[in-house]
Amino acid sequence: MTPSVTGTSPGDAPSPHEPLALYGAGFAADPHGHYRRLRAQGPLARVRIAPDIDATLVTDYHAAADLLRDTETFTKDPRAWQAGVPADSPVLPVLGHRPTALFTDGAVHARYRDAINDTLALIEPHLLRAEVVRVAQRLIAAFSATGTGDLIAQYARRLPLHVFTASFGVAPQDVERVVRGTAGMMDSGADATEAYDDLVAVVSALVHERRRRPGRDLTTYLLAHPAGLDDDEAVRQITLIMSVGHDPTTNLIGNALLRMLSDTGYGGSLHGGATTAREAVDDVLWRDPPLANLGAHFPRHDTEFHGVPLRAGQLVLVSFAAANTQSTPSVPKTAVRSGDGGHLAWSTGPHRCPAKPSALLMATTAIEELTSQLCDLRLAVEPGELVWRPGPFHRALAHLPVRFTPLDALVEADEAGARDGDDHVPIRVAGTPNG
Ligand code: HEM
Q: Give the helix ranges, DSSP H, for 225-332.
A: 231-262, 274-287, 320-324
Above pLDDT 90, what percent of the chain? 74
Check: CB of residue 120 under 8 Å from CB of residue 361.
no
Whether residue 332 has pLDDT greater than 50: no
Choose among 170, 192, 234: nearest CA to 49: 192
What atom in ligand 1 is closest to the CA of residue 350?
Answer: 16
The predicted-structure confidence for 368-401, as pLDDT tens digits, reads as follows 999 999 989 999 999 999 999 999 999 999 999 9
DSSP 384: G
Residues 6+ apart with CB under 8 A from 271: 371, 372, 375
Residue-level pLDDT at 176: 87
Pocket around ligand 1 at a 6 A CB cut-off: 101-102, 113, 116, 240-241, 244-245, 248-249, 252, 285, 289-291, 294-296, 320, 345-347, 351, 353-355, 358-359
The pair phi, psi for residue 293, each rounded to 5°, is -140, 110
The predicted-structure confidence for 296-315, as pLDDT tens digits, reads as follows 999 999 999 999 999 999 99
Residue 15 binned pLDDT confidence (cut-offs 50, 70, 90): low
Whether residue 67 has pLDDT greater than 50: yes
Residues 6+ apart with CB under 8 A from 67: 58, 73, 74, 295, 297, 305, 316, 318
Choose among 30, 27, 28, 56: nearest CA to 43: 56
Q: How far is CA 88 from CA 192, 267, 410, in A?
A: 9, 46, 46
What domains, with CATH codes, occur in the chain? 20-420 (1.10.630.10)
Buried b (16+ CB within 10 A) or exposed e, 32-59: eebbeebbebebbbbbbbbeebbbbbbb
Query: Rounded distance, CA 308 to CA 212, Å?
Result: 53
Residue-level pLDDT at 370: 97
100: left (phi over 0), alpha (psi -120 to 50) or beta: beta
Residue 12 binned pLDDT confidence (cut-offs 50, 70, 90): low
Check: CB of residue 404 under 8 Å from CB of residue 378.
yes
Distance 240 CA to ligand 1 centre (A): 9
Distance 128 CA to ligand 1 centre (A): 18
Q: Per mean pLDDT, which range of 142-156, 174-188, 286-300 is the poorest? A: 174-188
Q: Taking the CA of residue 105 as centre, how many other CA atoms within 13 Å lie in the half-sphere pointing to its CB?
A: 17
What atom in ligand 1 is closest to the CA of residue 102?
Answer: 15
Mean local confidence (pLDDT), 1-11: 39
The predicted-structure confidence for 83-133, as pLDDT tens digits, reads as follows 999 999 999 999 999 999 999 999 999 999 999 999 999 999 999 999 999
Residue 339 binned pLDDT confidence (cut-offs 50, 70, 90): very low
More confident residue, 234 or 12: 234
Above pLDDT 70, what percent of the chain? 85
* Top mean-pLDDT range of 212-226, 330-344, 407-421: 212-226
The burial class, CB within 10 Å (0-12 / 13-18 / 19+), for 214 is middle
Run of H or E residues at 75 = strand 74-75
Rounded to 5 degrees, what angle do the CA atoms 167, 98, 218 make?
15
